[in-house]
Amino acid sequence: MSEENARKESVTLIEVSVSDDKKQGFIKLGKQEEGNTVFTRDELMAALEKAQIKHGIIDSAIEKLAQRPIFNIRIKVAEATDPIDGEDGVVNLLVKKDADYKPEYSEDETVDYKNLDYFQMVKKGQLLCEITKETVGIDGKDLYGQAIPAHKGRKPQVPAGKNTSLNEDETKLLADCDGIIKFINTINIDEMMHIRSNIDFSTGNINFPGDVTIDGDVSSGFSVKAGGNLIIKGVVEDAKIEVAGNVVIAKGIYGGSTGDVIVGKDLRCNYIENAILHVEGDITVDYIIDGKITCHGNIYLSGSKELIIGGEIKLYGELVARDIGNEREYPTIIRILGEKRIDRDELERLNIKKAEIRQQLEENNAKEAQINGLLLAQEKKDILSRNHKSPEMEQIATLKKQIDRQLLILKKELAEIDNAITYVENKGSMCYYGSVSAKRKLYQGTRIYFGDMPFSFEFDSLEHCRIYWDHDDIVNGMM
């Protein structure tokens, strides 16, 4: 058999096949009937090319078959490049879902049920979750050089809800306001906390930066702190309340032994009993019994009783009630707080003068430091030249004396200004702008003070009276 005929026959003995998914290519070699059957690398590659296989050819497999052919067995000689699918987007939550809250146990395996922290508070701009975006993926190639599309990753389910927003590249979810998180399927931030029950062991203590509404009572031993306004539809019972804004309590306040109420603005409630209160604004209430109250505004008794019995009340404004005290002369103390009235114009003039003198002192101290430096430098020069009384030294010494004299004068003037300021402040007289009014009766046993000065009356009671301060004296007027 000629060499050419042998070559043609060997080519016909190369069978190329492809898997159904076009991802694997095979060669199956046949054997000649006579002589040695030999295949070259070029013959094998030509067979693949004829079968249109262009991609993924395994060179090492081709070389082995050419060197050491294996007959009548399909040998894999080509493999497609699989696509690399994109990765799914991921959301890394930095807040908890509502269902994830559980009590935390201390080292002694006890739980402080008053501080269960059931409510997640956030600040404006706080990071709620981090988002890793989905990736597109990389396409593969089949044996014929055609693209095998990669699957794109799934978009992350971003739990954006009310009062939340994404940053510019949508990789972070941020809080748009201060508030409380409600997180079931999406993160929502409520600027007002609404508790539809009592404040007790089921809720723990409350600490919220905004407005709070409580449908029930605040139970004994618990606390509520709000950065806005507070509405309580029940009663405050021996609890601690601290509110920056206004407070409205549908029923009343019973202080007990540990109750303490601090209000940044106005307070409205039905009654105050045995409670300690500090209110920066006005108080409107039906009756007060044994209250220990400091009020920077006015106190108005309004309702069916309009009475005050027992306790001690301090206020800057006016107090108006129907009855103050009772027939049994139960001790009731009311103190009108005042402020010192001083010559503001003179005080301002003195403070301006004081600032001017301080400025001059600073300037002269700087000059003195500069002159001291010159003196030291000149002294070194004079030592080197053995001239102990140089004209330059005498000139600098004269300047130093002038500065020292000026400093003494300024310090004396500053001390005189301080004495004058102290005199003006001490000379001021106390002024009381508040008053106490009883629309019906002011009973004996009620002690009213304007500062340290008491108001006294000889009758069992006074009727329709208004007690106020005028021209450094207490006046009993009529309503």
As a whole number, mean pLDDT of residues 284-311 equals: 95
For residues 67 and 130, membership in a common domain is answered with no
pLDDT at residue 323 in the model: 96
Count the residues in the chain.
479
pLDDT at 388 over 70: no
pLDDT for 27 = 92
| Residues 46-57, mean pLDDT to the nearest whole number | 91
Rounded CA-CA distance 268/248 in Å is 5
Q: Is residue 277 part of a domain?
A: yes
What band does 108 get if pLDDT is binned at 50, 70 and 90?
low
Per the domain annotation, does 441 fall within a domain?
no
Asked which of 292, 324, 341 is the last residue of a domain, the reply is: 341
Q: Which residue has the tokens 């050819």?
A: 57
Examine the domain organization and report whether 357 and 238 are in the same domain.
Answer: no
Round the average pLDDT of the chain to a whole number and report it.
88
What average pLDDT does the segment 279-302 reach? 95
Within-domain flag for 440:
no
User: Model pTM?
Assistant: 0.60
Higher pLDDT, 129 or 183: 129
Comparison of pLDDT for 111 and 285, the residue scoring more: 285
d(CA 299, CA 396): 70
Q: Can you give the pLDDT at residue 1?
A: 45
Cα separation values, 246 from 94, 238, 291, Å: 33, 20, 19
Whole-number Å distance between alpha carbons of 471 and 453: 13
Residue 457 lies in a domain: no
Residue 265's nearest CA partner among 227, 222, 319 is 227
Q: Are residues 213 and 272 in the same domain?
A: yes
Higher pLDDT, 343 or 298: 298
Same domain, 54 and 117: no
Give the least confident one: 136-145, 386-395, 431-440, 453-462. 386-395
Structural domain containing residue 398: 345-427
Tokens of 228: 């806005």
High-pLDDT (> 70) share of the chain, %:
93
Tell me what the mean pLDDT of segment 159-180 comes to.
92
Pairing state between β 267-273 and 247-254 = parallel
- Of 263-277, 341-355, 392-406, which has the strongest mean pLDDT? 263-277
Q: Are 281 and 218 contained in the same domain?
A: yes
| Residue 28 lies inside a defined structural domain of this protein | yes
Position 160 confidence tier, pLDDT thresholds 50, 70, 90: very high
Q: Does the residue 35 lie in any domain?
A: yes
The pLDDT value given to residue 153: 93
Instruction: Count the domains in the chain.
Output: 4
Q: Is the pLDDT of residue 113 over 50?
A: yes
* Boundary residue ending a domain (317, 341, 365): 341
Task: Give per-residue pLDDT as tens, 208-233.
Answer: 888 899 999 999 999 999 998 999 99
Tell me the average pLDDT across 90-100. 86
Torsion of CA 138, 144, 145, 150, to 10 degrees: -10
More confident of the two residues 14 and 7: 14
The answer to whether 84 and 119 are in contact (CB under 8 A) is no
Looking at residue 151, the DSSP 8-state letter turns out to be P
Of 295, 320, 341, the domain-final residue: 341
- Does residue 8 have a pLDDT over 60? no
Determine contact, residues 246/266, Cβ cutoff 8 Å.
Answer: yes
Cα 30 from Cα 302, distance rounded (Å)? 113
Distant-in-sequence contacts of 191-196, Cβ < 8 A, 24+ apart: 191/163, 192/228, 193/119, 193/226
Is 212 in the same domain as 308?
yes
What DSSP string runs through 9-68?
A: HHHHTEEEEE-TTS-EEEEEE---SSS-----HHHHHHHHHHTT--S-B-HHHHHHHHHS
Do 293 and 402 lie in a common domain? no
